Amino acid sequence: MKVLGIDPGLQNTGWGVIEVDGVRLRHIANGVIRSGQGALPARLLVLFQGLSQIIADHAPDAAAVEQTFVNKDASGTLKLGQARGIALLVPAQAGLSVGEYAPNAVKKSVVGVGHAAKEQVQHMVRVQLPGVEFACADAADALAIAICHAHHLQSRAVRIKVPA
């Protein structure tokens, strides 16, 4: 099974694809979609087209997106929400199930601590995906989201197999 992780952002949307084989995880690809500056509709279109191409290129079986946190800047939060909408729409349009995870849930799944630093998350992603090279910090976050979803899917599969 291939899992696409998406770290939504209006300027930089990180993405990462991993393969899940039982408890083994393998890095497939990662990168970032840069929407540049300019009018919001054009930037959202760049994100839409970029994610559509990633799904076409890597044919994931499932996707996961980080949930938006609310910050002090209402306008910035709204724009991030629109980028996140694209990150939810594109996989759904491709027929993929989409998981959503809070940042603390991702950190807890990958590191074991919900308030881990970015460096700790990146270190543990490297441990779980040996040899991975991150395109950028946003791509590392996207891989962490994919790993979180893989762990969630694995634990759900184990619960289903346990007789009642």
Which among 73, 100, 119, 138 is annotated as catalytic?
138
57 is a catalytic site residue: no
Closest CA to 154 of 28, 24, 63: 24
Q: Give residue-wise pLDDT tens across range 40-68.
A: 999 999 999 999 999 999 999 999 999 97
The answer to whether 138 touches 9, Cβ cutoff 8 Å, is yes
The answer to whether 4 touches 107, Cβ cutoff 8 Å, is no
Amino acid at 46: V
73 is a catalytic site residue: no
The pLDDT score that the predictor gives to residue 157 is 60
Which among 21, 61, 66, 119 is annotated as catalytic?
66
Q: Band of the pLDDT at 74, cuts 50, 70, 90?
A: confident
100 is a catalytic site residue: no
Which among 7, 61, 73, 141 is annotated as catalytic?
7
pTM of the predicted protein model: 0.91
A 10 A CB-CB count for 8 gives: 27
